[in-house]
Amino acid sequence: MGAKMVEFNGWDMPVEYSSSGGIIAEHMAVRTGVGIFDVSHMGDIRLSGRDALAAVQHISMNDASRLAIGQAHYSALLYPQGTFVDDVIVHRLAEDDYLLVINAGTREKDFDWVRDNTSRFDCKVENLSDDFTQIAIQGPKGVNLLQKLTDADLSAVKFYWVVRGTVCGLKNILIARTGYSAEDGFEIYVPAEGATSAMVWNRVLEAGKEFGAVACGLGARNTLRLEGSLSLYGHEISDTINVWEAGLGRFCKMEKPEFIGRAALEKAKALGMKRTLVGLEMVERGIARERYKVLDNDGREIGYVTSGSPAPFLKKNIALAYVPPEFATVGSTVKVEIRGQGVKAQVVLTPFYKRPRKT
């Protein structure tokens, strides 16, 4: 395959595939056609049983009682301080059956945390991380590609819904219309057994040929999610950043009477924010990178960059950064310190990129 590998949270992961033409080509394929990602490093936790909903409600900030069977939503697991254990996708698979998809680097921590915090509920907690290989098929042509390989009617699956179907001859495969690319797409969960997952991967690539599908690595995964302003654990969200600061309040349902972190978030809301996540677009020549300092126009340090990169589709240099709220006004300018120099950047609306809506 000619993949360049890198260690990512203990996993050997492809950063980019030479055969696909590198990060920019992979990124563009997802925006205009379809790209395929091996995301088997993601973890999976299943909560099932009589009290499964109550357990999910207790440990996550979104309101899982609103999920219909077959529906999914973005949520997060919080510490009592209102900061992040991790962000998750919660899928409701059946009446009392929920699947939490979590990040690679936090798999063990997340599982222990979920198990410890749900022990008083009548609910089974299983770590299925090693049972599934997750393959993401992302891009506007993803639906056409996957439809060739499954009997499930994908046109009936809405964004953030999940169905089961036969995929590449494998029965009862979970097919979710989700992803991390700010594009339409699907994530399928196939048995992790080596030969099976390799067979599916190869058949997906083969079926994608007519759509110009390419294999995509972590590099494009990162630039795609950054254009869509999607948070990455350890960057925009962490155990020291709270929900309000991260700008994820719309996924945090304070009308829920109880969940871990709620009390602290109520207090934090009353106190007001010291910092907030903003989108930056470089005005002068330079690329902002993670951990670079953000300066005000007089050169005083006011914050830091959480993620920064050239944006291959937008063809701009963009970044996400934490700054005090008084510097968060869209249209105002700040500086990013790049190799000792203050380089001008403008605060812009996020997400940087929104996929075109179908007409």
Site for other proteins, rule CB under 8 A: 4, 15-16, 22-24, 219, 222-223, 285-287, 289, 309-310, 312, 339
Q: Smallest distance, Å, CB 319 to other proteins?
A: 13
Q: Catalogue the long-range contacts made by 62-67 (C-beta closer than 8 Å, 24 or more residues apart).
A: 62/90, 62/251, 62/252, 62/253, 63/253, 63/255, 63/256, 64/90, 64/92, 64/98, 67/92
Q: How far apart are the first and last CA of the chain?
A: 37
Q: Smallest distance, Å, CB 215 to other proteins?
A: 15
Q: Is the four-CA dihedral 165, 169, 172, 175 of positive or negative sign?
A: negative
- Give the DSSP H/E element, type plus range, for residue 204: helix 194-208
Return the number of the residue (15 or 273) whose C-beta is nearest other proteins: 15
Q: Smallest distance, Å, CB 287 to other proteins?
A: 6
Cβ(18)–Cβ(198) below 8 Å: no
Return the number of the residue (273 or 287) whose C-beta is nearest other proteins: 287
Q: Smallest distance, Å, CB 324 to other proteins?
A: 27
CA atoms within 13 A on the CB side of 235: 20
Return the number of the residue (170 or 287) whose C-beta is nearest other proteins: 287
Return the number of the residue (23 or 214) whose C-beta is nearest other proteins: 23
Q: Smallest distance, Å, CB 24 to other proteins?
A: 5
Cβ(312)–Cβ(28) below 8 Å: yes
Return the number of the residue (109 or 289) whose C-beta is nearest other proteins: 289
Strand partners, 76: 87
